[in-house]
Structure 1
Amino acid sequence: LFEGRDAAGKGGVIKRITQRLNPRVARVAALPAPNDRERTQWYFQRYASHLPAAGEIVLFDRSWYNRAGVERVMGFCTDDQYEEFFRSVPEFERMLVRSGIQVIKYWFSISDEEQHLRFLSRIHDPLKQWKLSPMDLESRRRWEDYTRAKEIMLERTHIDEAPWWVVQAVDKKKARLNCIHHLLQQMPYEERLQPTVVLPQRERHDDYARQPVPDNMIVPEIY
Protein backbone atom coordinates (compact mmCIF):
# COMPACT_ATOMS: atom_id res chain seq x y z
CA LEU A 1 0.00 0.00 0.00
CA PHE A 2 1.39 3.39 -1.01
CA GLU A 3 0.01 6.41 0.78
CA GLY A 4 1.13 10.03 1.10
CA ARG A 5 0.20 13.56 0.24
CA ASP A 6 -0.48 14.61 -3.33
CA ALA A 7 2.81 14.83 -5.27
CA ALA A 8 4.64 12.77 -2.64
CA GLY A 9 6.02 10.40 -5.28
CA LYS A 10 3.84 7.31 -4.86
CA GLY A 11 3.26 6.85 -8.58
CA GLY A 12 6.94 7.25 -9.37
CA VAL A 13 8.10 4.48 -7.06
CA ILE A 14 5.29 2.18 -8.18
CA LYS A 15 6.37 2.68 -11.79
CA ARG A 16 9.98 1.80 -10.93
CA ILE A 17 8.92 -1.31 -9.04
CA THR A 18 6.67 -2.67 -11.78
CA GLN A 19 8.66 -1.76 -14.90
CA ARG A 20 10.93 -4.81 -14.55
CA LEU A 21 8.30 -7.23 -13.27
CA ASN A 22 6.02 -9.61 -15.12
CA PRO A 23 2.66 -7.79 -15.49
CA ARG A 24 0.88 -11.13 -15.20
CA VAL A 25 1.86 -11.37 -11.53
CA ALA A 26 2.50 -7.75 -10.54
CA ARG A 27 -0.24 -5.20 -11.10
CA VAL A 28 -1.28 -1.77 -9.89
CA ALA A 29 -4.62 -0.93 -8.29
CA ALA A 30 -5.42 2.78 -8.52
CA LEU A 31 -9.13 3.02 -7.84
CA PRO A 32 -11.20 6.08 -8.76
CA ALA A 33 -13.75 7.66 -6.47
CA PRO A 34 -16.54 5.19 -5.61
CA ASN A 35 -19.68 5.27 -7.73
CA ASP A 36 -23.22 5.37 -6.33
CA ARG A 37 -23.44 1.58 -6.05
CA GLU A 38 -20.04 1.22 -4.39
CA ARG A 39 -20.99 3.81 -1.77
CA THR A 40 -23.67 1.39 -0.52
CA GLN A 41 -21.28 -1.58 -0.25
CA TRP A 42 -19.19 -2.77 2.66
CA TYR A 43 -16.39 -0.21 2.64
CA PHE A 44 -13.58 -2.70 1.93
CA GLN A 45 -15.53 -4.58 -0.74
CA ARG A 46 -14.20 -2.80 -3.82
CA TYR A 47 -10.63 -3.12 -2.56
CA ALA A 48 -10.96 -6.82 -1.72
CA SER A 49 -11.59 -7.70 -5.36
CA HIS A 50 -8.07 -6.48 -6.21
CA LEU A 51 -6.22 -8.51 -3.58
CA PRO A 52 -3.52 -10.90 -4.84
CA ALA A 53 -3.51 -14.66 -5.16
CA ALA A 54 -0.45 -16.75 -4.32
CA GLY A 55 2.66 -15.54 -6.13
CA GLU A 56 1.12 -12.19 -7.07
CA ILE A 57 1.91 -8.63 -6.04
CA VAL A 58 -0.64 -5.84 -6.01
CA LEU A 59 0.57 -2.28 -5.50
CA PHE A 60 -2.22 -0.02 -4.27
CA ASP A 61 -1.72 3.57 -5.42
CA ARG A 62 -3.79 4.85 -2.51
CA SER A 63 -5.94 2.32 -0.73
CA TRP A 64 -8.67 1.85 1.83
CA TYR A 65 -6.84 4.52 3.86
CA ASN A 66 -8.60 7.10 1.71
CA ARG A 67 -11.21 7.09 4.44
CA ALA A 68 -8.70 8.20 7.05
CA GLY A 69 -7.22 10.83 4.75
CA VAL A 70 -8.99 12.58 1.90
CA GLU A 71 -12.49 11.46 2.91
CA ARG A 72 -12.00 12.73 6.45
CA VAL A 73 -10.41 16.03 5.46
CA MET A 74 -12.83 16.79 2.64
CA GLY A 75 -15.92 15.72 4.54
CA PHE A 76 -16.75 12.78 2.24
CA CYS A 77 -17.56 10.51 5.19
CA THR A 78 -19.44 10.93 8.43
CA ASP A 79 -17.91 10.83 11.89
CA ASP A 80 -19.53 7.43 12.45
CA GLN A 81 -18.06 6.05 9.21
CA TYR A 82 -14.67 7.43 10.17
CA GLU A 83 -14.72 5.78 13.59
CA GLU A 84 -16.05 2.52 12.15
CA PHE A 85 -13.10 2.48 9.76
CA PHE A 86 -10.65 2.58 12.65
CA ARG A 87 -12.53 -0.20 14.42
CA SER A 88 -12.56 -2.36 11.30
CA VAL A 89 -9.25 -1.82 9.55
CA PRO A 90 -6.98 -3.54 12.09
CA GLU A 91 -9.18 -6.63 12.05
CA PHE A 92 -9.45 -6.50 8.25
CA GLU A 93 -5.68 -6.43 7.88
CA ARG A 94 -5.15 -9.14 10.50
CA MET A 95 -7.62 -11.30 8.58
CA LEU A 96 -5.65 -10.74 5.37
CA VAL A 97 -2.39 -11.70 7.10
CA ARG A 98 -3.95 -14.82 8.62
CA SER A 99 -5.10 -15.76 5.12
CA GLY A 100 -1.54 -15.62 3.80
CA ILE A 101 -1.48 -12.12 2.32
CA GLN A 102 1.50 -10.00 3.30
CA VAL A 103 0.40 -6.41 3.92
CA ILE A 104 3.14 -3.78 3.62
CA LYS A 105 2.18 -0.14 4.16
CA TYR A 106 4.31 2.82 3.09
CA TRP A 107 3.75 6.49 3.85
CA PHE A 108 5.72 8.87 1.62
CA SER A 109 6.67 11.94 3.62
CA ILE A 110 7.50 15.27 1.97
CA SER A 111 7.87 18.77 3.33
CA ASP A 112 5.53 21.71 2.88
CA GLU A 113 8.14 23.44 0.70
CA GLU A 114 8.72 20.38 -1.50
CA GLN A 115 5.03 19.87 -2.21
CA HIS A 116 4.78 23.56 -3.11
CA LEU A 117 7.59 23.20 -5.64
CA ARG A 118 6.13 20.02 -7.13
CA PHE A 119 2.73 21.62 -7.55
CA LEU A 120 4.32 24.61 -9.31
CA SER A 121 6.10 22.18 -11.62
CA ARG A 122 2.79 20.52 -12.47
CA ILE A 123 1.19 23.89 -13.17
CA HIS A 124 3.90 25.09 -15.55
CA ASP A 125 5.03 21.85 -17.23
CA PRO A 126 2.63 20.79 -20.03
CA LEU A 127 3.77 17.18 -19.63
CA LYS A 128 2.71 17.16 -15.97
CA GLN A 129 -0.48 19.25 -16.04
CA TRP A 130 -2.63 16.12 -16.26
CA LYS A 131 -1.43 15.22 -12.75
CA LEU A 132 -3.00 18.33 -11.21
CA SER A 133 -6.63 18.18 -10.14
CA PRO A 134 -8.92 20.55 -8.24
CA MET A 135 -8.66 18.14 -5.30
CA ASP A 136 -4.88 18.60 -5.32
CA LEU A 137 -5.26 22.35 -5.07
CA GLU A 138 -7.70 22.03 -2.20
CA SER A 139 -5.37 19.61 -0.41
CA ARG A 140 -2.64 22.21 -0.63
CA ARG A 141 -4.83 24.72 1.21
CA ARG A 142 -5.64 22.13 3.89
CA TRP A 143 -2.06 21.05 4.57
CA GLU A 144 -2.48 21.12 8.36
CA ASP A 145 -5.75 19.19 8.23
CA TYR A 146 -4.03 16.45 6.23
CA THR A 147 -1.15 16.44 8.70
CA ARG A 148 -3.53 15.98 11.61
CA ALA A 149 -5.40 13.20 9.77
CA LYS A 150 -2.15 11.45 8.89
CA GLU A 151 -0.92 11.50 12.48
CA ILE A 152 -4.17 9.99 13.74
CA MET A 153 -4.12 7.37 10.98
CA LEU A 154 -0.58 6.22 11.75
CA GLU A 155 -1.26 6.10 15.48
CA ARG A 156 -4.46 4.09 15.22
CA THR A 157 -3.56 1.65 12.43
CA HIS A 158 0.09 0.81 13.15
CA ILE A 159 -0.25 -2.85 14.16
CA ASP A 160 2.29 -5.64 14.52
CA GLU A 161 0.77 -7.68 11.70
CA ALA A 162 0.83 -4.74 9.26
CA PRO A 163 3.01 -1.87 10.49
CA TRP A 164 3.49 1.46 8.75
CA TRP A 165 6.84 2.35 7.19
CA VAL A 166 7.63 6.02 6.56
CA VAL A 167 9.72 6.84 3.48
CA GLN A 168 11.54 10.17 3.52
CA ALA A 169 10.58 11.34 0.04
CA VAL A 170 11.87 14.89 -0.48
CA ASP A 171 14.62 13.44 -2.69
CA LYS A 172 12.74 11.36 -5.27
CA LYS A 173 15.59 9.12 -6.37
CA LYS A 174 16.71 8.29 -2.85
CA ALA A 175 13.12 7.64 -1.82
CA ARG A 176 12.63 5.18 -4.66
CA LEU A 177 15.86 3.33 -3.96
CA ASN A 178 15.25 3.20 -0.21
CA CYS A 179 11.69 1.97 -0.66
CA ILE A 180 12.65 -0.75 -3.15
CA HIS A 181 15.54 -1.88 -0.96
CA HIS A 182 13.27 -2.02 2.09
CA LEU A 183 10.54 -3.83 0.18
CA LEU A 184 12.95 -6.58 -0.82
CA GLN A 185 13.92 -7.06 2.82
CA GLN A 186 10.30 -7.76 3.79
CA MET A 187 10.15 -11.12 2.02
CA PRO A 188 12.47 -14.09 1.44
CA TYR A 189 13.95 -12.52 -1.68
CA GLU A 190 16.97 -14.16 -3.28
CA GLU A 191 18.62 -14.25 -6.67
CA ARG A 192 17.22 -16.93 -8.94
CA LEU A 193 19.34 -19.18 -11.13
CA GLN A 194 17.93 -18.90 -14.61
CA PRO A 195 18.07 -21.97 -16.87
CA THR A 196 20.10 -21.73 -20.05
CA VAL A 197 17.84 -20.82 -22.94
CA VAL A 198 18.61 -22.15 -26.42
CA LEU A 199 16.87 -20.40 -29.30
CA PRO A 200 15.49 -23.02 -31.70
CA GLN A 201 16.25 -22.86 -35.40
CA ARG A 202 13.52 -21.36 -37.53
CA GLU A 203 11.75 -23.80 -39.79
CA ARG A 204 11.66 -23.00 -43.51
CA HIS A 205 9.23 -24.52 -46.03
CA ASP A 206 9.70 -24.49 -49.79
CA ASP A 207 5.96 -24.26 -50.40
CA TYR A 208 5.60 -20.93 -48.50
CA ALA A 209 6.18 -17.51 -50.04
CA ARG A 210 5.69 -14.36 -47.98
CA GLN A 211 3.02 -12.05 -49.43
CA PRO A 212 3.80 -8.34 -49.88
CA VAL A 213 1.91 -5.81 -47.73
CA PRO A 214 -0.15 -3.31 -49.80
CA ASP A 215 1.33 0.18 -49.79
CA ASN A 216 -1.89 1.74 -48.52
CA MET A 217 -1.57 -0.28 -45.28
CA ILE A 218 1.91 0.97 -44.42
CA VAL A 219 2.31 3.63 -41.73
CA PRO A 220 4.16 6.59 -43.33
CA GLU A 221 7.80 6.67 -42.26
CA ILE A 222 8.03 10.26 -41.09
CA TYR A 223 11.11 9.57 -38.96
Structure 2
Amino acid sequence: MATLLHIDSSVFPTSASSSRAVAEAFRSAWAEQHPDGTVIHRDLSAAPVPHLTADAHTAGLSDPSGHTPGQAAAFAERLTLIEELERADAVLIGAPMYNFAIPSTLKAWLDNVILFGRTAGETPTAKGTPVTVIASRGGSYEPGTPRESYEYVRTYLTTVFADTLAMDLDFIVPELTMAPHNPAMSELVPLYEASRERALTAAAAKAKELADRLAA
Protein backbone atom coordinates (compact mmCIF):
# COMPACT_ATOMS: atom_id res chain seq x y z
CA MET A 1 0.00 0.00 0.00
CA ALA A 2 1.29 3.46 -0.94
CA THR A 3 1.85 6.11 1.71
CA LEU A 4 1.30 9.82 1.10
CA LEU A 5 2.75 12.37 3.51
CA HIS A 6 0.59 15.51 3.30
CA ILE A 7 1.79 18.71 4.97
CA ASP A 8 -0.48 21.78 5.15
CA SER A 9 0.79 25.12 6.45
CA SER A 10 -1.84 27.70 5.48
CA VAL A 11 -3.41 29.57 8.39
CA PHE A 12 -6.75 29.55 6.55
CA PRO A 13 -9.34 26.77 6.14
CA THR A 14 -9.74 25.03 2.78
CA SER A 15 -12.62 27.31 1.80
CA ALA A 16 -10.32 30.34 2.04
CA SER A 17 -6.96 28.78 1.13
CA SER A 18 -5.74 28.11 -2.40
CA SER A 19 -2.89 25.89 -1.21
CA ARG A 20 -5.28 23.73 0.81
CA ALA A 21 -7.87 23.56 -1.97
CA VAL A 22 -5.33 22.53 -4.59
CA ALA A 23 -3.70 20.06 -2.20
CA GLU A 24 -7.15 18.58 -1.56
CA ALA A 25 -7.60 18.07 -5.31
CA PHE A 26 -4.30 16.16 -5.35
CA ARG A 27 -5.22 14.13 -2.31
CA SER A 28 -8.68 13.23 -3.67
CA ALA A 29 -7.18 12.00 -6.94
CA TRP A 30 -4.52 10.11 -4.99
CA ALA A 31 -7.19 8.42 -2.85
CA GLU A 32 -9.04 7.28 -5.97
CA GLN A 33 -5.88 5.54 -7.15
CA HIS A 34 -4.91 4.24 -3.69
CA PRO A 35 -8.19 3.48 -1.87
CA ASP A 36 -6.35 1.23 0.58
CA GLY A 37 -3.35 3.48 0.94
CA THR A 38 -2.17 5.46 3.94
CA VAL A 39 -2.22 9.24 4.27
CA ILE A 40 -0.16 10.87 7.00
CA HIS A 41 -1.58 14.39 7.33
CA ARG A 42 0.10 17.11 9.35
CA ASP A 43 -1.72 20.40 9.61
CA LEU A 44 1.04 22.68 10.84
CA SER A 45 -1.35 25.54 11.49
CA ALA A 46 -3.60 23.49 13.76
CA ALA A 47 -0.76 21.50 15.36
CA PRO A 48 2.66 23.18 14.86
CA VAL A 49 5.76 21.06 15.34
CA PRO A 50 8.40 22.35 17.78
CA HIS A 51 10.90 24.85 16.47
CA LEU A 52 14.44 23.51 16.46
CA THR A 53 16.09 23.87 19.85
CA ALA A 54 19.69 23.57 20.97
CA ASP A 55 18.93 20.12 22.40
CA ALA A 56 17.27 18.92 19.18
CA HIS A 57 20.08 20.30 17.05
CA THR A 58 23.02 18.99 19.05
CA ALA A 59 21.36 15.60 19.53
CA GLY A 60 21.29 15.17 15.77
CA LEU A 61 25.06 15.61 15.64
CA SER A 62 26.06 13.36 18.52
CA ASP A 63 26.00 9.73 19.63
CA PRO A 64 22.58 8.84 21.12
CA SER A 65 24.31 6.97 23.95
CA GLY A 66 25.61 10.29 25.24
CA HIS A 67 22.39 12.26 25.00
CA THR A 68 21.10 14.14 28.00
CA PRO A 69 17.44 13.55 28.91
CA GLY A 70 16.60 16.84 27.21
CA GLN A 71 18.43 15.87 24.05
CA ALA A 72 16.83 12.43 24.00
CA ALA A 73 13.31 13.87 24.31
CA ALA A 74 13.89 16.55 21.69
CA PHE A 75 15.49 14.14 19.25
CA ALA A 76 12.67 11.64 19.66
CA GLU A 77 10.28 14.28 18.34
CA ARG A 78 12.57 14.95 15.37
CA LEU A 79 12.81 11.24 14.62
CA THR A 80 9.02 10.94 14.40
CA LEU A 81 8.96 13.58 11.67
CA ILE A 82 12.02 12.18 9.89
CA GLU A 83 10.62 8.65 9.84
CA GLU A 84 7.31 9.90 8.40
CA LEU A 85 9.27 11.48 5.56
CA GLU A 86 11.40 8.39 5.01
CA ARG A 87 8.51 5.96 4.75
CA ALA A 88 6.43 8.11 2.40
CA ASP A 89 6.08 7.00 -1.21
CA ALA A 90 5.10 10.56 -2.15
CA VAL A 91 4.99 13.90 -0.35
CA LEU A 92 2.51 16.75 -0.79
CA ILE A 93 3.33 20.18 0.65
CA GLY A 94 1.04 23.19 0.91
CA ALA A 95 3.36 26.21 0.93
CA PRO A 96 1.59 29.56 0.63
CA MET A 97 3.76 32.65 0.32
CA TYR A 98 3.58 34.87 3.41
CA ASN A 99 5.61 38.07 3.29
CA PHE A 100 7.71 36.69 0.41
CA ALA A 101 8.61 33.44 2.22
CA ILE A 102 7.12 30.17 3.47
CA PRO A 103 5.12 30.06 6.74
CA SER A 104 7.29 29.77 9.85
CA THR A 105 5.49 26.54 10.75
CA LEU A 106 6.68 24.92 7.52
CA LYS A 107 10.21 26.19 8.15
CA ALA A 108 10.08 24.56 11.60
CA TRP A 109 9.05 21.24 10.04
CA LEU A 110 11.89 21.47 7.53
CA ASP A 111 14.42 22.31 10.26
CA ASN A 112 13.38 19.12 12.04
CA VAL A 113 13.53 16.77 9.05
CA ILE A 114 16.77 18.05 7.53
CA LEU A 115 19.45 15.99 9.27
CA PHE A 116 22.91 15.78 7.74
CA GLY A 117 24.18 12.24 7.79
CA ARG A 118 20.66 10.92 7.37
CA THR A 119 18.11 12.81 5.24
CA ALA A 120 20.85 15.10 3.89
CA GLY A 121 24.45 14.43 2.90
CA GLU A 122 26.03 11.78 0.71
CA THR A 123 23.21 9.21 0.97
CA PRO A 124 19.96 11.06 1.74
CA THR A 125 17.32 8.63 2.95
CA ALA A 126 14.39 10.19 1.04
CA LYS A 127 16.36 10.43 -2.21
CA GLY A 128 14.16 10.16 -5.28
CA THR A 129 10.86 10.41 -3.39
CA PRO A 130 8.46 12.59 -5.38
CA VAL A 131 7.44 15.79 -3.60
CA THR A 132 4.76 18.10 -4.99
CA VAL A 133 4.69 21.63 -3.58
CA ILE A 134 1.57 23.79 -3.89
CA ALA A 135 3.24 27.21 -3.85
CA SER A 136 0.31 29.62 -3.79
CA ARG A 137 0.84 33.37 -3.72
CA GLY A 138 -1.28 36.51 -3.63
CA GLY A 139 0.40 38.13 -6.64
CA SER A 140 2.60 36.99 -9.49
CA TYR A 141 6.35 36.54 -9.25
CA GLU A 142 6.92 34.93 -12.62
CA PRO A 143 9.84 35.93 -14.87
CA GLY A 144 9.15 39.31 -16.41
CA THR A 145 6.76 40.50 -13.71
CA PRO A 146 7.62 43.54 -11.55
CA ARG A 147 8.17 41.38 -8.48
CA GLU A 148 10.18 38.61 -10.09
CA SER A 149 13.15 39.34 -7.82
CA TYR A 150 10.96 38.81 -4.72
CA GLU A 151 10.39 35.13 -5.48
CA TYR A 152 12.05 33.31 -2.59
CA VAL A 153 9.66 30.39 -2.03
CA ARG A 154 10.50 28.22 -5.03
CA THR A 155 14.16 29.22 -4.84
CA TYR A 156 14.43 28.16 -1.21
CA LEU A 157 12.36 25.00 -1.51
CA THR A 158 14.31 23.90 -4.58
CA THR A 159 17.50 24.20 -2.54
CA VAL A 160 15.94 22.16 0.27
CA PHE A 161 14.02 19.43 -1.51
CA ALA A 162 15.97 18.96 -4.75
CA ASP A 163 19.51 19.96 -3.82
CA THR A 164 19.69 18.99 -0.14
CA LEU A 165 17.24 16.10 0.30
CA ALA A 166 17.67 14.87 -3.32
CA MET A 167 13.92 14.44 -3.75
CA ASP A 168 12.06 14.52 -7.07
CA LEU A 169 10.51 18.00 -6.87
CA ASP A 170 7.58 19.49 -8.75
CA PHE A 171 5.75 22.79 -8.18
CA ILE A 172 2.13 23.73 -8.80
CA VAL A 173 1.65 27.49 -8.49
CA PRO A 174 -1.82 29.01 -8.07
CA GLU A 175 -1.19 32.76 -8.17
CA LEU A 176 -2.98 36.11 -7.89
CA THR A 177 -5.00 34.68 -5.00
CA MET A 178 -5.53 38.16 -3.54
CA ALA A 179 -7.28 39.41 -6.70
CA PRO A 180 -10.83 38.61 -5.44
CA HIS A 181 -10.14 40.41 -2.16
CA ASN A 182 -8.11 43.46 -3.20
CA PRO A 183 -10.03 46.10 -5.20
CA ALA A 184 -6.76 47.28 -6.74
CA MET A 185 -6.40 43.83 -8.32
CA SER A 186 -9.97 43.47 -9.58
CA GLU A 187 -8.89 43.47 -13.24
CA LEU A 188 -6.77 40.40 -12.49
CA VAL A 189 -9.65 38.25 -11.26
CA PRO A 190 -10.01 36.38 -14.59
CA LEU A 191 -6.28 35.59 -14.52
CA TYR A 192 -6.61 34.38 -10.91
CA GLU A 193 -9.53 32.15 -11.85
CA ALA A 194 -7.63 30.68 -14.79
CA SER A 195 -4.56 30.08 -12.61
CA ARG A 196 -6.66 28.33 -9.97
CA GLU A 197 -8.31 26.05 -12.53
CA ARG A 198 -4.94 25.15 -14.03
CA ALA A 199 -3.61 24.36 -10.57
CA LEU A 200 -6.57 22.16 -9.64
CA THR A 201 -6.28 20.26 -12.92
CA ALA A 202 -2.51 19.93 -12.57
CA ALA A 203 -2.83 18.63 -9.01
CA ALA A 204 -5.24 15.87 -9.98
CA ALA A 205 -3.10 14.95 -12.99
CA LYS A 206 0.07 14.86 -10.90
CA ALA A 207 -1.50 12.56 -8.33
CA LYS A 208 -2.59 10.15 -11.06
CA GLU A 209 0.82 10.32 -12.72
CA LEU A 210 2.54 9.42 -9.45
CA ALA A 211 0.08 6.61 -8.83
CA ASP A 212 0.90 5.14 -12.24
CA ARG A 213 4.63 5.53 -11.59
CA LEU A 214 4.42 3.77 -8.24
CA ALA A 215 2.35 0.96 -9.70
CA ALA A 216 4.83 0.34 -12.51
Same fold (TM over 0.5): no
Query: The TM-score by the shorter chain falls in which range?
Result: 0.3 to 0.5
Q: Quick check: which has more Rg, 1 or 2?
A: 1
TM-score normalised to structure 1 length: 0.34
